[in-house]
Amino acid sequence: MAVQPTNKARELLELIKFEHTVFAMPFALIGAWMAAGGWPPMDRLFWVVLAIAGGRTYAMALNRILDRVFDARNPRTAQRALPAGRIKLAEAWALGLGGLAVFILGTLQLPPLCMRLWPLAFLVLTVYSLMKRISWACHLVLGLALGAAAAGGWVAVSGTLPVPAMILGLTVFTWAAGFDIIYACQDVDIDRAEGLHSIPARLGLRGGLRVSSFLHVLTVAGLVALGVQMGMGVAYWVGVATVLGCLVHEHRLVSADDLSRVDAAFFTLNGCVSLAMFTATVLDYALSAVNLP
């Protein structure tokens, strides 16, 4: 039976986990807001959103394509659209290459520094899908990709990469690498059996969760450093406190003895982290514009 167009679209969005855009996009927009000192130019915002959505689509599609054989042998992922046959390999490639084209188009509309850096971003997005075969540092490459997106939002508006933009990028790097380690805890046994690499597979569940906790301590420290550097107001600091609460709760939900709540820890709480910081940052600049603290 042929797959209906609406079902096909749903499967393609599921393939790239479209809802996980909530992780990278808000921090890229934070970068744009901070670079502009308030609401950024709409044309820049449009191209930033387009470039990040395209780059993420390419990276996720490539990841699913390259991992399809492993996914088929993993009970947790065997029913994903590609290994289950609900999406053809050619369709996944078309989606990924289309995303790459959109990513390149978006970056070419942005300041010269963005145009010069897009090949480096492309390399990071591509290498991410191969890293589990090579090194436990795969989580760091994912963190680098999301951190680069956050700093890229700043570069897209200002055309420069100042120290605060680097702090933002490093902060997102530690946050994303930390939550990816938590997610990888689900697949320790099968990763070891398949010869794939991750920090939990190398250090064990307890060791992996300790590394994740350390990275998230650095995340909060980075948000504090960024707020001090930028002279942010009360709303921003409420956002930082919210992030701290989310991360503490995330690490209470998951333990080496109980991974049943990884989904809540991974998606729900980290979605709250990014949205809370974006909302707090935008509100802070809005209050500043009317001379409120």
Tens of pLDDT along the chain (293 residues) come to 455 667 888 899 888 888 888 888 999 999 999 999 999 999 999 999 999 999 999 999 999 999 999 999 999 989 998 999 999 999 999 999 999 999 999 999 999 999 899 999 999 999 998 999 999 999 999 999 999 999 999 999 999 999 999 999 999 999 999 999 999 999 999 999 999 999 999 999 999 999 999 999 999 999 999 999 999 999 999 999 999 999 999 999 999 999 988 887 788 899 999 999 999 999 999 998 877 66
Map out the domains of the chain as residue ranges. Answer: 11-288
Write down the pLDDT at residue 293: 61
Query: Sign (positive/negative) of CA torsion 84, 90, 93, 98?
Result: negative
Buried b or exposed e, range 163-200, using 16+ CB within 10 angstroms: ebbebbbbbbbbbbbbbbbbbbbbbbebbeebebbbbb
What is d(CA 152, CA 58) in angstroms, rounded to the nearest whole number?
17
List CB contacts of 34: < 8 A, sequence separation 6 or more. Answer: 154, 164, 165, 168, 230, 281
Look up residue 279 and give its two tokens.
């909302």
Do 175 and 215 form a contact (C-beta atoms < 8 A)? yes
Write down the pLDDT at residue 8: 84
What totals of helices (H) and strands (E) does the chain contain, helices first? 13, 0
Do 61 and 101 form a contact (C-beta atoms < 8 A)? no
Output the pTM of the full model. Answer: 0.93
Write down the pLDDT at residue 47: 97
Write down the pLDDT at residue 52: 95
Angle at the Cα of 209 (from 205 to 213), degrees rounded to 5? 175
Write down the pLDDT at residue 88: 94
Q: Bridge-partner residues for 258, per DSSP?
A: 255
Q: Strand, helix or coil at 258?
A: strand
Write down the pLDDT at residue 171: 98
Query: What top-level class would CATH report for the domain 11-288?
Result: mainly alpha
Write down the pLDDT at residue 4: 62
Angle at the Cα of 21 (from 35 to 263), degrees rounded to 5? 130
